[in-house]
Amino acid sequence: MPGTAPVRTGLIGYGTAGEFFHAPLIDAAPGLELAAVVTANPDRAARVDKRYPGARVVSSPAELWELCELVVVATPNRTHVPLAEEALRAGRAVVVDKPLAGTAGEAVALLRLAHERGLMLTVFQNRRWDGDFLTLRRLLESGELGEPHRLESRFERWRPLPKGGWRESGGPDEIGGLLYDLGSHLVDQALHLFGPAETVYAETDVRRAGVANDDDAFIALTHENGARSHLWMNALAAQLGPRFRVLGSQAAYVKWGLDVQEERLRAGMRPDEPGFGEEPEERWGTLGADGDTLPIRTAPGAYLDFYTGVAAALRDGGPPPVDPADAIAALRVLEAARRSAATRSVVSLRA
């Protein structure tokens, strides 16, 4: 955007999401400037000062309204709606980390407010820019799988000892647990690939002592086009399953291991460095049928494209990189999954 001043951006929260995802991506994105960070934690404030000396550290969100055009909410889930609403009422465009809200109804109200104020609202569904997901989307678009009929998708970890914190030990008001954490990504990806869901079946369990929220969850979706998605989230998987196993009428795509971008962000690598999203060959997936498979190069992961899209939407007036209506659709699925798990039944999403 030649000749255009960068969008002054304020980040609320400098926990894991703020420090390792949002701040480095905002700082590297053309057209954005990390102008301020909200944190009341002295250690986190010191880390902001060291890594982003041009960013002002403030202690409350209200201090952002005069400093920034764009506000990014990267705080605990229960605060997403009130902080996003406050920012929108202050006349600021908003990015909210997933999940956008605890319920689809709350998300609809936020989107209505954004429309009334003529402001951009979008959701940080960064996993749409995972290299393996980009690869899978290309394979589907090219027809190399044939007619796709089943998606198996997993985010599994081996964490027998809980880390603590609100995601694991908070009550229902915290909107914690894997269903709303990792499930927000898996459901979004499934809907993005195969379209709206018609029915939802789910199982949720708490497996580890001292944990209050689901740490083992499964969702089965039947899409309106007849395809099925099986989605697993687990913190107690001693042997991990494949990240993706996608079956089609002509071939299957199988991919092991998580996208490389998160580990590189946590290691301090800048997302605009050459090779940042490139995956080594030994981690590529395979395409074909048993006895006749080929390695398929993983597309470079591109989390930075999300914030580049945010900048373009604000300066050029185009659509945001993630339509908040997609987040509402995913929340309807997650709410149905909760009902299904509680009632041990299949829930219909038909109007």
Q: β-strand 244-248 against 197-205: which pairing, if any?
A: unpaired
132 shares a domain with 102: no
Q: Which domain holds residue 217?
A: 127-301+332-348
Q: Cβ distance 95 to 64 under 8 Å?
A: no
Q: Residue 119 maps to which CATH number?
A: 3.40.50.720
Q: Cβ distance 228 to 150 under 8 Å?
A: yes
Low-confidence ranges of the chain (pLDDT < 50): 1-2
Q: Looking at residue 351, what is its pLDDT?
A: 67
Q: Looking at residue 1, what is its pLDDT?
A: 41
Q: What is the pLDDT of residues 32-59, one digit of tens each?
A: 999 999 999 999 999 999 999 999 999 9
Quote the strand ranges of 49-129, DSSP E: 56-58, 70-73, 93-97, 121-124
278 shares a domain with 193: yes
Structural domain total, the chain: 2
Q: Looking at residue 180, what is its pLDDT?
A: 95
pTM tops 0.85: yes
C-alpha 247/C-alpha 185 separation (Å) is 20
Q: Residue 286 maps to which CATH number?
A: 3.30.360.10
C-alpha 28/C-alpha 304 separation (Å) is 8
196 shares a domain with 83: no
Q: Looking at residue 172, what is its pLDDT?
A: 74
Number of CB atoms found within 10 A of residue 142's CB: 8
Question: How remote is the C-alpha of 348 from its chain's centroid?
Answer: 25
Q: Looking at residue 173, what is its pLDDT?
A: 80
C-alpha 252/C-alpha 285 separation (Å) is 10
Q: What is the pLDDT of residues 90-139, one digit of tens each?
A: 999 999 999 999 999 999 999 999 999 999 999 999 999 999 999 999 99
In a domain, residue 309? The reply is: no
151 shares a domain with 260: yes
Q: Looking at residue 170, what is its pLDDT?
A: 76
C-alpha 261/C-alpha 305 separation (Å) is 13
Last residue of a domain, one of 94, 124, 154: 124
Tell me the backbone φ, ψ of residue 320, rounded to 5 degrees.
Answer: -70, 160
In a domain, residue 307? The reply is: no
Instruction: Give the DSSP H or E segment for 167.
Output: helix 166-169
In a domain, residue 2? The reply is: no
- The CA distances from residue 181 to 26, 94, 148, 232, 266, in Å, are 22, 20, 27, 12, 18
Q: What does DSSP assign to residue 6?
A: P
C-alpha 38/C-alpha 61 separation (Å) is 6
